Amino acid sequence: MSAAPQRLTAWVHGHVQGVGFRWWTRSRALELGLVGYAANQTDGRVLVVAEGSRVALDQLLDWLRNGNTPGQVTLVIDDFSAARGDLDGFRER
Whole-angstrom Cα distance, residue 49 to residue 22? 11
Q: Of residues 7, 26, 40, 93, which has the active-site annotation? A: 40
Q: Of residues 7, 22, 26, 45, which has the active-site annotation? A: 22
Handedness of CA 27, 34, 90, 80 (dihedral sign): negative
Contact 6, 80 (CB under 8 A): yes
Q: 40 catalytic, yes or no?
A: yes
So which residues are the catalytic ones? Answer: 22, 40
